[in-house]
Structure 1
């Protein structure tokens, strides 16, 4: 339709990492099956700091804020699905997997990855 979307990739990847590390930190502190580790806490602090610095250095224009939020939620629900796959006694991971898939599809559409190619005749108009 409008061609290439103007969405920056760095904040999206950092938001995914913050979502993963945030959920891993909460799981490390609250799930008894997991051994305590300081690494999710350190990586959460570093990823959040770098994301904040990225936010301060360049404005988020276009669909970047929405894509960043979607990426954060993909990280949270994706780690939850992974954790429930690893420890089945915690419950089913069906809802987490379905929410993650819907969010990934929505993110792909927002970023312009899942768009159909525009025929050359329509692109020249």
Structure 2
């Protein structure tokens, strides 16, 4: 698990925020049940700018790029599941919840939070 020590948490959190804000922006602009708000757009621009500045200042090594992508997808599918829970007439959220859970487990394994059981005999 030497690769898990190289994973930085700041780009992972920023990617999660970009995923949530990006999906919230698209939902605000396209879903008729939601009232328009400028705040998801502002948050998306600020989070994307901070993620880009983090990318420029410190190189992404090890599993950081994969974990960042997983975190982005967790944000997208998680907000989609939340939105479909809030507005059931949009459809079921089963697929979004299952994808989010699989991605969260994968991210936890990659970061070393949930350790794989080792076979010692």
Please confirm whether the aligned pair reaches a TM-score higher than 0.5, indicating the same fold.
yes
TM range (shorter): over 0.9
Q: C-alpha displacement at 1:2, in angstroms?
A: 4.1
Q: Does 1:93 align with 2:93?
A: yes
In 1, the alpha carbon distance for the partners of 2:27 and 2:87 equals 12
Partner residue, 2:38: 38
The match for 2:21 is 21
Change (3 A) 1:54 1:101: same
Give the Å deviation of 1:3.
8.1
CA-based RMSD of the aligned residues comes to 1.5
Q: CA offsets, 1:53-83, max 9 Å, x none?
A: 0000000000000000000000000000000
Aligned residues: 118
Deviations 1:82-107 (A, max 9, x none): 00000000000000000000000000
Alpha-carbon shift at residue 5 of structure 1 (Å): 2.7
Structure 1: which 5+ runs fail to align?
A: 119-125
Flag structure 2 segments of 5+ consecutive residues without an equivalent: none
Larger mean CA deviation between 3-12 and 82-91 belongs to 3-12
Query: What's the CA shift for 1:117?
Result: 8.1
